[in-house]
Amino acid sequence: MTSNGRRSRGWYGKLDRDGFIHRSWMKNQGFPDHAFDGRPIIGICNTWSEFTPCNAGLRVLAKAVKRGVWEAGGFPVEFPTTSLGETQMKPTAMLFRNLLAMDVEECIRAYGMDGVVLLGGCDKTTPGQIMGAASVDLPTIVVSAGPMLNGKWRGRDIGSGTHVWKFSEDVRAGQMTIQEFMSAEAGNSRSVGTCMTMGTASTMASLVEVMGLSLPTNAALPAVDARRTTLAHLTGRRIVRLVEDDVRLSRILTRESFENAILANAAIGGSSNAVVHLLAIAGRLGVELTLDDFELGADIPLLVNCMPSGQYLMEDFCYAGGIPAVLAELGNRLRFATTVLQSDIRDYCADAECYNRDVIAAFEDPVKDAAGIRVLRGSLAPDGAIIKPSAASPELLEHTGPAVVFENIEDLRERIDDENLEVTRNSVLVLKGCGPRGYPGMPEVGNMPIPKRLAGQGIRDMVRISDARMSGTAFGTVVLHVAPEAQIGGPLALVRTGDQIMLSASRGKLELLVDSRELARRRESWRPEAQRYSRGYARLYTDHVLQAHQGADLDFLVGKDTRPVTRESH
């Protein structure tokens, strides 16, 4: 693409009043005349925030990206967008993923950039940024924040999220003191960066690499590793080349790259949240992707032995070979798909080696068989639900039992530790009202606590069903994303305590074993919970959010708008 055809020329290339204004006001930061000589303007979309500890290292990476852009003959301009701190935000960061996507989209569209580098890390940040960038479709590349160093406590490794859930259950069961629980806190998060388990942040960073939207090794290099800063520098060089060759985001994120992501998500034991995020990103690009497509990974074995599906952490995964080593194991199962290196994704693993088979297993000798996300359908989930077998108890993947129903999150918190709760280890815990509209925002509460009196008996897993999500760091036999959700009258809304529910992961079934006439009677008296928000973004969200099987995007944001900005504001 020639300099005369670059998008930025409409801002900085004109010798008139508008060009004067655009250039002059930028020069107050000390930029010289030759910075506006037609070279590519590269936006650096930074989600740094002290309220987002995962992204606390992005200022350093932004500086490195700028070095690379200048070196390659570009003009880097950093800009901030909404930052989503998963561990800090209420009611849930997922409520604001689409807001971030709107912010990113409108910034890219409104400012005079030719390409963009997305700097993110925390769970909803990466998909939100990609959704926004996809809707404008400029040359785009990602640098992830990187995972924290391994957690340490009493001589052993502990994983953020995964051990929080384990330790919390141990305290409730009387097997861990509150003093021990608090002492583990200091060693849990030892550096800036994302969760060092294969949670949603590490999963999305991995899938970004698998989809060819970052340079190789982006997923696993620790946040504080100098090699991540080097990678950021090289990324700055690469985005200039992508602009020069006009390689837009839609050239990279094709149907084939999404299929590769589904295969790899199974192999790495990736987060169930990848489902709703990949569906939303595909919707922005017009790529035909449905919930049923995730069955493509159903027979892929678990190759990465990382928490919560295994025993190691992201630092170990990095040293064992990272994503390139996993891609090498997937081999010819990968689809041909181009990358930001403008070559096939298989080139990312051309020279890859595995340095620790305990961490990254061979395809022929996996950690677990058939570990991919399973899609469930039936009378309880006509539009689908999902389960992550690699994080579940195998004996519970085929189960029928009586429901113990919680009408909403407040009901759950009030009664889950009641010693008189009528529940057995064969019961199925059911939580309503936590879908996209119901909470609102579809929080990570699907991995409900084990009732206290059962936890005291040593029970650590039960079948749990909800329209909510689950943290990628969590584990258990948990059915998630039930659609339609309870708030809009899905069958989940009609479940009552004592109803028999049948789960068959092998057959992809989730059935409510109640007579249809009885369900019809219940529906006549059913009413949705009153909405909790009457104004602002939350009202906009609840009025327009799609269901989980559609990616939970806002209905009016699906698709993209690549039309040039023509109106001047001066």
Q: Tell me what pLDDT residue 435 has.
A: 97
Relative to beta strand 500-504, strand 398-406 is: antiparallel
Report residue 267 as tokens: 């192999």
Could you tell me the strand order of the sheet in which 41-46 lies? 75-80, 41-46, 115-120, 140-144
**Bond into 308 cis (ω within 30):** yes
Query: CB burial class (10 A; 0-12, 13-18, 19+) of residue 83?
Result: buried
Q: What is the mean pLDDT of residues 172-182?
A: 89
Q: Tell me what pLDDT residue 531 has.
A: 86
> Does the pLDDT value for residue 4 go beyond 70?
no
| Domains contained in the chain, CATH given | 39-150+190-349 (3.40.50.2300), 152-188 (no CATH), 374-529 (3.50.30.80)
Q: What is the mean pLDDT of residues 48-60?
A: 96
Q: What is the mean pLDDT of residues 528-557?
A: 95
pTM: 0.95
Q: Tell me what pLDDT residue 494 has.
A: 98
Q: What is the mean pLDDT of residues 517-525?
A: 96
Chain position carrying tokens 């409520």 = 95
Choice among 114-118, 156-160, 538-542 with the minimum mean pLDDT: 156-160
Report residue 422 as tokens: 């009528």
> Does the pLDDT value for residue 45 go beyond 60?
yes
As a whole-number percent, the residues of the chain with pLDDT over 90 amount to: 88
Q: Could you give the angle at the alpha carbon of 339 between the alpha carbons of 6 and 202, nearest 5°? A: 115
Identify residue 457 by its one-letter amino acid code: Q
Q: Tell me what pLDDT residue 30 has.
A: 96
Q: Tell me what pLDDT residue 1 has.
A: 37
> Does the pLDDT value for residue 318 go beyond 90?
yes
